[in-house]
């Protein structure tokens, strides 16, 4: 069975655009859970423009299903040029404190609008390997955000990751152009997934997956989890959040 983990960053982003607590993030987390989703994902960043550190702690205490925290453990919380980060403790401390079921390590910089590439593991991965071991020792499954690059996937297996999460932006972009283009790019992910499985890695996927392209991508070999946030919030403007979640659950269940 493929699990749907809902990324609630965009709900927090809307909340943060005004004073107060509207929309109520925790209320929407519980609404997602009531709809039958399998997990909740957050991707805190040092500027706390959407998910804040306090949200991570509150969600962890409020839910019983899988919690996935994404972020870059190699990026400093107080990097040059960042605005006041207030009480943001850093990604590593969040994982140490919360010990989520899964932490997904992503190679984005503090300045990025959104994640747009996977790890390049062609250099020295000593620090990343040590962090993976550290997080696993605390009980968190570790997934690495990766491109559909066979050589990189093989390297991910050598540094101790449990899973890879395929960055699916290129696939989603190809699907917009034509079904044939989407199918061609999907085959690249299929080969990479087969290599991941052969090397003992489990497979997740996320980024720009939506109701139009998920039907094909769900057939990726070994796919265990999709993390979707932006598209769910966009579709909720048309269908409402409950109907939108039902549609996504129906797609992955078929």
Query: Model confidence at 111, in pLDDT bands (50, 70, 90)?
Result: low
- Residue 162 annotated as lining a ligand binding site: no
Coil/strand/helix, residue 224: strand
For the four alpha carbons of 249, 205, 38 and 224, in that order, the dihedral sign comes to: positive
Which of 19-33, 37-51, 101-115, 182-196 bottoms out in mean pLDDT, i.e. has the lowest?
101-115
Q: How far apart are the first and last CA of the chain?
A: 10
In this prediction, residue 75 carries a pLDDT of: 74
- Distance of alpha carbon 83 from the chain centroid: 24
pTM for this predicted structure: 0.92
Among candidate residues 28, 202, 207, 225, the one labeled active-site is 207
pLDDT for 84 beyond 60: no
Helices H / strands E in the chain, number of each: 11, 8
In this prediction, residue 113 carries a pLDDT of: 61
Which of 49-53, 169-173, 184-188, 223-227 bottoms out in mean pLDDT, i.e. has the lowest?
49-53
In this prediction, residue 116 carries a pLDDT of: 64
**What count of residues does the chain have?**
254
Domains parsed from the chain with CATH numbers: 3-253 (3.20.20.70)
- Residue 49 annotated as lining a ligand binding site: no
Q: Please write the tens of the pLDDT for every residue from 141-155.
A: 999 999 999 999 999
177 included as an active-site residue: no
Coil/strand/helix, residue 142: strand
Among candidate residues 43, 165, 202, 225, the one labeled active-site is 43
Q: Which helix (H) or strand (E) holds 67?
A: strand 66-71
**How does strand 39-42 pair with strand 202-206?**
unpaired
pLDDT for 83 beyond 70: no
Tokens of 35: 């709809």
Q: Please write the tens of the pLDDT for every residue from 224-235.
A: 999 999 999 999
207 included as an active-site residue: yes
Please list the alpha-helical segments (H only) found in 138-213.
Answer: 150-158, 169-177, 179-198
Measure the CA–CA gap between 56 and 193, rounded to whole angstroms: 30
């Amino acid at each position: 069975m493929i699990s749907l983990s809902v990324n609630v960053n965009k709900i927090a982003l809307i909340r943060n655009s005004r004073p107060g607590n509207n929309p109520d993030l925790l209320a929407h987390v519980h609404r997602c859970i009531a709809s039958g989703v399998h997990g909740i994902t957050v991707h805190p960043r040092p500027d706390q423009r959407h998910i804040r550190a306090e949200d991570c702690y509150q969600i962890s205490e409020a839910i019983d299903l899988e919690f996935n925290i994404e972020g870059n453990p190699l990026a400093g919380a107080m990097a040059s040029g960042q605005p006041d980060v207030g009480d943001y403790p850093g990604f590593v401390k969040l994982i140490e404190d919360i010990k989520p079921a899964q932490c997904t390590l992503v190679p984005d910089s503090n300045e990025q609008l959104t994640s747009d590439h996977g790890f390049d593991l062609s250099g020295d991965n000593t620090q990343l390997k040590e962090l993976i071991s550290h997080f696993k020792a605390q009980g968190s499954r570790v997934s690495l955000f990766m491109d559909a690059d066979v050589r990189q996937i093989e390297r991910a297996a050598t540094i101790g990751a449990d899973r890879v999460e395929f960055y699916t932006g290129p696939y989603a972009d190809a699907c917009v152009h034509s079904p044939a283009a989407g199918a061609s790019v999907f085959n690249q992910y299929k080969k990479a997934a087969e290599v991941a499985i052969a090397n003992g890695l489990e497979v997740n996927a996320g980024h720009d997956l939506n109701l139009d392209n998920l039907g094909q991508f769900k057939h990726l070999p070994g796919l265990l989890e999709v993390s979707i946030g932006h598209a769910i919030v966009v579709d909720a403007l048309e269908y409402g959040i409950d109907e939108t979640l039902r549609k996504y659950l129906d797609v992955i269940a078929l």
